[in-house]
Structure 1
Amino acid sequence: MWDVLLTSTLLFFGVVDVISTFGTVSDLGPALREGLEAQGAGTFSSDAIAADAGAVANIVRVVVLLITIVFALLQIQRRRIAFWIPLVGATIAGITLVVAVFIAVLSDPGFIAYVENMQPQ
């Protein structure tokens, strides 16, 4: 019974996370601009790349969530331990989001110029 409760709670957190961050992830440009400016790392200007990276991240995150739900429910139906499945799904979704942000930031000429200026001459 504890596994069903824990698995259901983790799946619920996954659904809430994907729904609540969908808009921000789909439009990463303003969030990255705000974050980089707050760090003093120049201005972010690659909104198109950020939007593409965010769209791909959202698609992958939704697909991973759906697959996670299906596999977790199958494990519960078979009366097997299933709490690890949402944890794996969250890890994959998190890595996807981090990669999308890295791609967007490392594609920005302003950030690259900032990094190059930080290196000792």
Structure 2
Amino acid sequence: MSDPRPAPQYGEYATPEEVAALRGTVADPPAAPAPTPAPVARTSGASGAPRGSTLRRMDRPLTIALIAFGVLNLIQYAGPLLDFEYFLEVATQGTFADAIDFGDAARIGGVVLFVVCLGLLLASSAIAVLRLRRGRLAFWVPLVAGAFSVLAWVAVLVVIVLQTPGAVATSGF
């Protein structure tokens, strides 16, 4: 049992025959080697982050849902925006602003607001789709467009109130 090779050191691997010889037992015949599984390729997005992360998985459906919400919101408000004077009169009925007669400023403001919201929707949809195709996060694009839409509403309403004679005096400002 004299083996010219040195015994395996700590951390080195020994064959089953070498282990059996060191233990003094008879080694079983070597079994056929088990097939090794093929290495699984790691799928990753364009930015290198794992594709399975929660934010990456939810980005596409969330972006599509936000764009769909914007489309439905614009469809819902298209009529009132294109007849904004009537919309404001109905909205202020029964309030201190009931006596205010919104005129041309409201008509023009409604059309401007519709065009701004439509432009924001189209631009944010195009940018979001482009970012989705490149594998980048895109859910924030419709959110930013929605924030700009809210700012546009506030700005247009302020301009309408300031352009309407008697609106500021009636409101008590």
SS at the partner of 1:109? coil
In the aligned structure 2, how far is the partner of 1:107 from the partner of 1:66? 29
Residue 12 of structure 1, aligned match among 68, 71, 75: 68
Equivalence for 1:93: 149
Higher mean C-alpha deviation, range 25-34 or range 56-65 = 25-34
Query: What is the deviation of 1:44?
Result: 2.5
Does residue 1:22 correspond to 2:22, yes or no?
Answer: no
Equivalence for 1:45: 101
Following superposition, which runs of at least 4 residues in structure 1 exceed 2 angstroms of deviation? 34-38
Structure 2 alignment gaps of length 5 or more: 1-56
Query: What is the deviation of 1:42?
Result: 4.0
Q: Which has the higher helix share?
A: 1
Does residue 1:32 correspond to 2:88, yes or no?
Answer: yes
Letter in 2 for 1:52: I
Q: Aligned residue pairs: how many?
A: 117
Letter in 2 for 1:76: L
In the aligned structure 1, how far is the partner of 2:117 from the partner of 2:62? 21
SS at the partner of 1:37? coil
Cα-to-partner distance string for 1:6-35 (whole Å, 9 max, x where unaligned): 000000000000111011112211222233
Cα-to-partner distance string for 1:45-98 (whole Å, 9 max, x where unaligned): 132110101111111110110000000001100111110000001111121122
Q: CA RMSD in A?
A: 1.5
Higher mean C-alpha deviation, range 71-80 or range 102-111 = 102-111
Per the normalisation by structure 1, the TM-score is 0.87
SS at the partner of 2:132? helix
Identity, % of aligned positions: 29
In the aligned structure 2, how far is the partner of 1:35 from the partner of 1:74? 39
Larger Rg computed on CA atoms: 2
SS at the partner of 2:100? coil
In the aligned structure 2, how far is the partner of 1:109 from the partner of 1:42? 14
Contact 1:75 1:82 survives alignment (8 Å): yes
Q: Which residues of 2 match residues 31-110 of structure 1 at below 5 A?
A: 31-110=87-166
The one of the two structures with greater contact order (alpha-carbon pairs below 8 A, sep at least 6) is 1
Residue 2 of structure 1, aligned match among 52, 55, 58: 58
